Amino acid sequence: MLSDKICWESRIPVRKGWSSDRKYRVMSRAGDPCLLRLSDASKYDGKKKEFEIVQKYASLGFPMSQPLDFGTTPDGSQVYMLLSWVDGRDLEEVLPSLPEERQLELGRKAGAILKKIHSLPLDPADVPAATKKEKKLLQLARYEQSALRIAGDETALRYVKENIDLIWREAPVYQHGDFHPGNLIYTPEGNIAVIDFNRWEVGDPYEEFYKLESFGREVSVPYCIGQIGAYFQDDVPTDFWRTLAVYVAHASLYSIKWAEPFGPEEISGMTRRCQTAFEDYDSFASVIPKWYR
């Protein structure tokens, strides 16, 4: 039982992130720090699957929050997941203070880890019946119908609609689902460790990279270049850039609509990132961002 494994008196809330899980830093009965994630019991099946996927990732040998235990709380009202705690600082906070050569090196470490995740043998039962093409076009339509449209968005809208068939051409893989410096920890040993796998899914490997534009390039361009370079062993295919531009254009626009329930500050942040992407991609007349060129 969970109550036998942790010391409840040491529970400290963890508020970072967008997950609906309630998260706490706790101490195990053996005195080791752990991360406790609690969800409503109605999510049992999905959370059980998530724990199994995290176990798969843990078998790959890279530093990460290790899966320790899974089950329901004694009263049956909640599902819990217990993982090892990763000491260190968020990589997004550390990167700007490091020399550019070190930023590049850490990006390459991240790219190698992402390649490992994508190398996992795929269970055919985990492959979704449909791709995300229809979903992304519907999301784009929601943006177009909103009052949040930004000036000059026509080129980006057209690029997505005309090139949507580029996505999901690659063989599907297990994804981290939210792979960027905000979900990496810079450890006291100077290594990086991966956390927060709750957005895992199976899909296009190229989709994992669009958050470099959203959340990576604003803290470290060398990191972004390193992640891409290491993943492709420094031989980046042309189709990657054309496909990535679809994901970036879509996310840049739809993220503004997505942010609407979270208030003006989040809308402003996503709008700013969208405008940066437009500059980086010459309003999507180019498929390789300026920061990489």
Residue 256 belongs to some domain of the structure: yes
Is 128 domain-assigned?
yes
d(CA 153, CA 169): 26
290 domain residue, yes or no? no
Here the CATH number for the domain that contains residue 178 is 3.90.1200.10
Indicate whether 127 and 185 sit together in one domain: yes
Q: Do 137 and 259 sit in the same domain of this protein?
A: yes
Q: Are residues 133 and 259 in the same domain?
A: yes
Please tell me the distance from the alpha carbon of residue 117 to that of residue 125, in angstroms, as a whole number.
Answer: 18
Q: Which of 58, 84, 110 is the last residue of a domain?
A: 84
In the numeric block, which tokens belong to residue 104? 């590049």
* 292, part of any domain: no
Looking at the fold, whether 69 and 96 belong to one and the same domain comes out as no
Q: Are residues 126 and 215 in the same domain?
A: yes
Which pLDDT value is given to residue 251?
97
Where among 40, 64, 84 does a domain terminate? 84
CA distance 292 to 280: 9
Instruction: Name residues of the chain where pLDDT drops below 70.
Output: 1-9, 17-18
Same domain, residue pair 156 and 37: no
In this structure, the answer to whether residues 223 and 142 fall within a common structural domain is yes
Kindly state whether residues 160 and 219 are assigned to the same domain. yes
Confidence (pLDDT) at 206: 98
In a domain, 165, yes or no: yes
**Predicted local confidence at residue 182, as pLDDT:** 93
Please indicate, yes or no, whether residues 137 and 243 belong to a single structural domain of this protein.
yes
Alpha-helical (H) ranges within the chain are 44-58, 91-94, 100-118, 133-144, 154-163, 210-211, 221-231, 238-258, 264-280
The reply to whether 76 and 177 lie within a common domain is no
Domain for residue 239, yes or no? yes
End position of a domain, from candidates 69, 84, 99:
84
**CB 69 within 8 Å of CB 2:** yes
291 within some domain: no
Number of structural domains (the chain) is 2
222 and 80 in a single domain? The answer is: no
Asked whether residue 154 falls in the same domain as residue 110, the answer is yes
Query: CATH number of the domain that 43 lies in?
Result: 3.30.200.20
Q: What is the largest CA-CA distance in the chain?
A: 59
- What is the residue range of 12's domain? 2-84
The CA distance from 163 to 45, in Å, is 36
